[in-house]
Amino acid sequence: MKKVLLIFILFVMFSITNSGYCKEVPFTLEDRDRIIRMEAKLSEIEKRFEQIDKRFEQIDKRFEQIDKRFEQIITFMWMLVAIFTGITSATIGFAIWDRRTMIKPFETKTRIIEEEINRDREKLNSVVEAFRNLAKTDEKVAEVLKRLNLL
């Protein structure tokens, strides 16, 4: 009896569950209209996404143009720096060259004058020495040399 009852319960369960699967849902005109509206909305959304993509592409192009312009400006700035450095170096080099050429004649003249002063000093020392020797024999010369603090 238990077996019969178990088989009966199983049979009832299978028959109930199968009837749920076999039931067919009718496709109505209202469902068709809903699908058409959904497709229309989806196509509008796709168009909007395409417009957004185009805008992003335009923005990317603008950024590329700005990047190119910045690179041009930076290149120009490097050129200006190089030109300024060259002009500054040339000016400093010219100033150094000019000073050397201006100072050389003065150095030569100064050496010549120093040599003349040394020769004149030697002559003066020998004249003073001669007067000192003369002062040993002549008292007038000795007085003059004492007044001048040379004796």
Kindly tell me if the per-residue pLDDT of 22 is higher than 70.
no
What mean pLDDT is predicted for residues 114-120?
93
Q: How far is 105 from 113, CA to CA, in rounded Å? A: 12
What residues contact residue 131 under an 8 Å CB cut-off, 6+ apart? 141, 145, 150
Q: State mean pLDDT over 46-67.
A: 95
pLDDT at 83: 98
Helix (H) or strand (E) holding 138, with range, is none
Determine the pLDDT at residue 25. 65
Compute the average pLDDT of residues 101-116: 91
Nearest-angstrom CA–CA distance, 71 and 79? 12
State how far the alpha carbon of 95 is from the alpha carbons of 19, 55, 82, 88, 111, in Å.
Answer: 110, 60, 20, 11, 24
Q: Report if pTM > 0.75.
A: no
Domain ranges across the chain: 41-147
